[in-house]
Structure 1
């Protein structure tokens, strides 16, 4: 997979940081959707 190659190239710490920011972005997206649903 591309992700595995990317992890090898950048190193584990960088990959974990990127993965965390992706999780955070996803969480914010879901949270905003819940918020807008509540406002409707």
Structure 2
């Protein structure tokens, strides 16, 4: 399952992940609104 969430604060993300972890394993990816130049991933 893929879920998209638009949250204002990292604490909101932590709360959401904490609630849905009850149902299974989670992976979190953060997509920035603008590119970050010169950084390797």
Task: Tell me the TM-score range normalised by the shorter chain.
Answer: 0.3 to 0.5
Q: More helix by proportion, 1 or 2? A: 1
Return the index of the structure with the highest Cα Rg. Answer: 1
Task: Name the structure, 1 or 2, with higher relative contact order (CA <8 Å, separation 6+).
Answer: 1
